[in-house]
Amino acid sequence: MNDRSKYITRIIVFALVVIFILAIVGYSVYLFTRGREEKISEWGGAESADILDNSVPESYSLPFGKGITITYSGPDNWYVAASLSNNLPVWQEVSERTGVNFSWQVLPSAQWNQSMKLKINGGGELPDMMGIPDWGNGDINKYAEEKVIIPLNELINKYAPNIKRILKENPLLRKQMTAADGNIYSIDEFFSANHYDKAVIIRKDWLEKCGYREGWIPKTKEEFVDVMERFRDYRDAEKLPLSGSADAKNGVIPLVAAEGYMYDLFCSGFGLSAPLQDCAVNEDGKVVFQRATPEYGEFLEWMADLYSNKLLYSGYAASSESDFEKLIIQNRVGISVAAGDTMDKYNSLLKRYGIDGEYILINPPVDDEGNITLVKRSLSGGQIGISYDCEDPVTVIRLMDYLWASNEGMILMHYGLEGITYDYDEDGNIRFTDFVTNNQEGLDKASALRSVGAWGPLFDHQTLEFMSLLYPEQANEFYAENLANDIYVEPFPKILPTAKEASQTGGLSTNLTTYQSEYHMRKILGGTSQPYAQYLAEMERLGVRQYEQYRQAQYERFTAL
């Protein structure tokens, strides 16, 4: 055999080996997928039963887990007051009551999100119970079609009496949790007290030190700017020792706001809904992309003026919650944005570091007509599903039912442990103990609860009773007054898209958002002279009107359910 023949023979042998390996891999994938489909076929597919059928779920008693270990993958405890993997007391109690043990696969939120996507795409074994990547904005249909998560309809109908009750009592929540094929694939965070959302926070003591009368708060854009300028310029060393320009060492920063997260509350002063949503429904029932309107351009100009006049934090474009906390304990932040529990955290930090000061909640600025429109938070958020690799979905759905929907489980998940984090008063009402309200380590209420495993990222079901007990008195009064003044509107609903809708909007949304974000940043930081009219023209070219039409059709489909 000559050299050429030997070479050809080697090529043929190599090709046969490759084909053989690919065949084995392909067959393995086939068996894996078929196994998933066969294993879970009894829980239904696209033709699953109506979640609101008249069947009565099986009752269950504790414990129901009989020592089973469930693997959970999701974002770690918020702000990682203590990692979920640390055998926290609340989860020890969950195991004791239910008979379910836990194997935790948790990472900080940003890291976990990417890690989970890689795991799903890699085709490895999935955890029994898992957060859905993007944590509230996950592509449910995509993961359902790819046999990542199972439909829950039949499981709920047969084994989850409390979940079924809550979904029947809250039809909008049910709609937001229902995919386009009629199936429910996840148990979502549920914010029934959804008017408890972010607001502007301001140093009450600084207002008085800067010459404003006691009890006065800014309301208009002009008043907010005046306050920021006084915070920036006030230099009475005795009264406000750390004051000065934002660029001065330890100087006051009038407004601390994070890109894409905090700043957009201030758009209320320009007739836009706050917090700013990409899509909103106008008075005529039409869906509008708010970041392609004349009002949005006026808002960007205002923000750019704040930045150029050293009123807006110079590092706002790349800041995290921990960065803000560092600024808080340096006694530098005049105005920011937070929810009531975060305000409580900031005030606890001031106290812990010996700073005599107080943050309070106030509304963002009114528009030129004196009106303000505040958007409630979405009724539902982060999603937890059951994977196709789960060996015992009945036990997992019962766990979800107990912790998310039963009164006993909800108390455990949110209030923690009786005698440690809460007790009952003489009227039978829950009250937090000193461990929560006067924590020896200086933790705010939320962080104290999370340190023992309560009120974490799993099975969040925020009731008015819980939120009012968790939040400071001033925050409760603030939210109640806003509710009474009827200035809240419902948010653009969370809609689980069909595959067609996702394909229509996905690319458009990415292009629009990318360009808008880039322009927004350059405009505020002084990196562009491009007129806003050119920005609008480019948004038109990128398909903003087509995007609005697609979202309009999606909104109409959702409202017709």
Structural domain boundaries in the chain: 69-191+379-431, 199-375, 499-559
Q: How far apart are CA 60 and CA 58, in angstroms?
A: 6
Q: Which residues pair with 103 in a beta bridge?
A: 71
Q: Is 532 left (phi over 0), alpha (psi -120 to 50) or beta?
A: alpha
Check residue 245 and give its pLDDT. 46
Pick the CATH number of 199-375 from 3.30.590.10, 3.40.190.10, 3.40.50.300, 1.10.150.120: 3.40.190.10
3-state secondary structure of 433: coil
How is residue 420 written in tokens?
A: 């440690």
Check residue 3 and give its pLDDT. 54
Nearest in space to 453 (alpha carbons), one of 413, 490, 480, 423: 413
Q: Are 127 and 436 in contact (CB under 8 A)?
A: no
Q: Going residue by residue through the chain (561 aa), what tens digit of pLDDT does each one get? A: 555 555 455 555 455 544 554 444 444 444 444 455 555 455 554 444 566 788 889 999 999 999 999 999 999 998 788 999 999 999 999 999 999 999 999 998 878 988 998 888 888 889 999 999 876 666 788 899 889 999 999 999 999 999 999 999 999 999 999 988 889 999 999 999 999 998 999 999 999 999 999 999 999 999 999 999 999 987 654 455 555 444 444 478 899 876 555 667 999 999 998 988 889 999 899 999 999 999 999 999 999 999 999 999 887 665 667 778 888 998 989 999 888 888 999 999 999 999 999 999 999 999 999 999 899 999 988 899 999 999 999 999 999 999 999 999 999 999 999 999 999 999 999 999 999 999 999 899 999 999 999 998 899 999 999 999 999 999 999 999 999 999 999 999 999 888 888 889 989 999 999 999 999 989 998 888 899 999 999 999 999 999 999 999 999 999 988
User: CB-based contacts of 306: which residues, under 8 Å, 6+ apart?
Assistant: 225, 228, 255, 312
Q: Is 61 left (phi over 0), alpha (psi -120 to 50) or beta?
A: beta
User: CB-based contacts of 343: which residues, under 8 Å, 6+ apart?
Assistant: 201, 359, 360, 361, 472, 475
Q: How far apart are CA 247 and CA 244, in angstroms?
A: 8
Please give the CATH topology (third level) of the domain spanning 69-191+379-431: D-Maltodextrin-Binding Protein; domain 2 (3.40.190)
Q: Are 270 and 298 in contact (CB under 8 A)?
A: yes
Check residue 81 and give its pLDDT. 85
Q: Are 207 and 201 in contact (CB under 8 A)?
A: no
Chain length of the chain: 561
Check residue 18 and give its pLDDT. 46
Q: Name the residue type at position 74.
A: G
Answer yes or no: same fold for 69-191+379-431 and 199-375: yes
Q: How far apart are CA 423 and CA 540, in angstroms?
A: 58
Check residue 14 and give its pLDDT. 52
